[in-house]
């Protein structure tokens, strides 16, 4: 694959959907900055593998997406070391399942900060460069929960609904600048984020693990199948293409029919 003139930052890309998106972008010859948490040795191996396999520059930023100053510094570092941020994928996210009356206040604050406010901060920092160059792609990983709610997920549902509002606003502001802004809204994808919420869902709904997987998770999706990280990554690649230049302010839903019901 020839080197692309574009460079990308993908937040929350040390596992799950973000890692698949970052790997797919690297597969198109795009230099990429990973971000997210993990074992230092595992992250070093990821960076090396992606860089070597795809012949691109791959970096990692440990910036905490709940900390505005670290977010701004990450975008600056990407611009300094990669040369630009042309593709920005806001993907970092966490989840908490709890009845509203017990919902921990620190979990509410963290989910709103990481799943919503971080996108405001990255976009704010990356847009001046995109406008100057007259090209940019902002892709925000929302969720089927940007359109519908589920019990016990107050903060996540609120954050994902908010993310679509932010995305539409930015799309309108940037409409004539060559920069598009869109959401991708997957249904359930089998990742650590889903795995981690199973015990709390069992408790909140008084169900077994199997019942949660079959009667809550898969039951939400008429196709009765998980969305895959590769399917989400393929959609992100399409949104980065010039063929997708007129798609802006959209929420691309890939949820096995969940929100059609
Ligand atoms: P994941 O747990 O595999 O990945 C989350 C990533 O975010 C990891 O790299 C993690 O290190 C990073 N992260 C967490 N907190 C962070 C912080 N404070 N600062 C920086 N990075 C941080 O989960 P995933 O399912 O791949 O989730 C990725 C995105 O997809 C999230 O925004 C999630 O809401 C969204 N999503 C997931 C599903 C699903 O079913 N898995 C469905 C719809 C949307």
Catalytic residue at 156? yes
- Return the ligand 1 atom nearest residue 156 CA: 34
The CA distance from 110 to 140, in Å, is 18
pLDDT along the chain (261 residues), means of 10: 89 98 98 98 98 98 98 98 98 97 98 99 98 98 98 98 98 98 98 94 94 93 97 98 98 98 90
Rg, the chain, Cα only = 18
What HEC string does 141-182 produce? ECCHHHCCCCCCCHHHHHHHHHHHHHHHHHHHHCCCCCEEEE
The DSSP element (H or E) to which 136 belongs, if any, is strand 136-141
CA dihedral angle for residue 143, residue 241, residue 119, residue 61, rounded to 10 degrees:
110
Q: How distant, in Å, are the alpha carbons of 36, 37, 77, 182 from that of 239?
A: 23, 26, 24, 8
As given in the structure block, the two tokens for residue 194 are 């889903």
pLDDT score recorded for residue 1: 65
Catalytic residue among 108, 135, 156, 188: 156
The binding-site residues of ligand 1, defined as CB within 6 angstroms of any ligand atom, are 12-18, 35-37, 64-66, 91-94, 114-115, 141, 143, 186, 188-189, 191-194
Residue 194 Cα to ligand 1 middle (Å): 9
Nearest CA to ligand 1 atom 21: 36
> What is the structure's pLDDT at 75?
98
Matching residue, tokens 């902002």: 138
DSSP string of 70-129? HHHHHHHHHHHHHS---EEEE---------GGG--HHHHHHHHIIIIIHHHHHHHHHHHH
Q: Which of 9, 13, 14, 18 for a ligand 1 pocket mutation test, highest count of atoms within 8 Å of Cβ? A: 18
Is ipTM > 0.95 here? yes
CA-closest residue to ligand 1 atom 6? 12
Q: What is the DSSP string of 208-233?
A: -HHHIIIIIIGGGSTT-SPBPHHHHH
Pocket test for ligand 1, best of 16, 190, 195, 216 (most atoms within 8 A of CB): 16
Q: Please give the distance, rounded to the nearest whole angstrom, from the Cα atom of residue 141 to the centre of ligand 1.
A: 9
The whole-number pLDDT of residue 121 equals: 99
Closest residue to atom 7 of ligand 1, CA basis = 12
Half-sphere exposure of 1 (CA within 13 A, CB side): 17
Ligand 1 atom showing the smallest separation from residue 13 Cα: 9
**Which among 16, 77, 3 has a CA at the least distance from the CA of 227?**
16
State in Å: Cα 132 to ligand 1 middle.
30
CA of 94 to the centre of ligand 1 (A): 6
Element (H, E) at 197: helix 192-205
At 171 the pLDDT is 99
Pick the CATH number of 7-188+228-260 from 3.40.50.1100, 3.40.50.720, 3.40.50.360, 1.10.540.10: 3.40.50.720
Distance CA(155)–CA(172), nearest Å, equals: 26
């Amino acid at each position: 694959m020839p080197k692309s003139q574009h460079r990308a930052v993908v937040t929350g890309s040390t596992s799950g959907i973000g890692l698949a998106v970052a790997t797919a972008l690297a597969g198109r010859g795009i230099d990429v900055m990973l971000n997210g948490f993990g074992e230092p040795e595992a992250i070093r191996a990821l960076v090396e593998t992606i860089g070597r396999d795809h012949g691109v520059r791959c970096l990692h930023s440990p910036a905490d997406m709940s900390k505005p100053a670290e977010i701004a510094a990450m975008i600056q570092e990407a611009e300094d070391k990669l040369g630009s941020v042309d593709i920005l994928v806001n993907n970092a996210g966490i989840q908490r399942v709890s009845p509203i009356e017990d919902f921990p206040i620190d979990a509410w604050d963290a989910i709103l900060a990481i799943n919503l406010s971080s996108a405001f901060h990255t976009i704010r920092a990356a847009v001046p460069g995109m406008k100057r160059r007259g090209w940019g792609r902002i892709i925000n990983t929302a969720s089927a929960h940007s359109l519908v709610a589920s019990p016990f997920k107050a903060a996540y549902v609120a954050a994902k609904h908010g993310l679509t509002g932010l995305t539409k606003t930015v799309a309108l502001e940037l409409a004539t600048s060559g920069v598009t802004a869109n959401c991708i809204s997957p249904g359930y994808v089998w990742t650590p984020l889903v795995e981690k919420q199973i015990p709390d869902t069992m408790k909140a709904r008084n169900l077994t693990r199997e019942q949660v997987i079959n009667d809550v998770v898969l039951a939400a999706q008429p196709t009765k199948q998980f969305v895959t990280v590769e399917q989400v990554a393929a959609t992100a690649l399409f949104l980065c293409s010039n063929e997708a230049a007129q798609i802006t302010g959209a929420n691309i839903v890939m949820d096995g029919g969940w929100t059609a019901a």
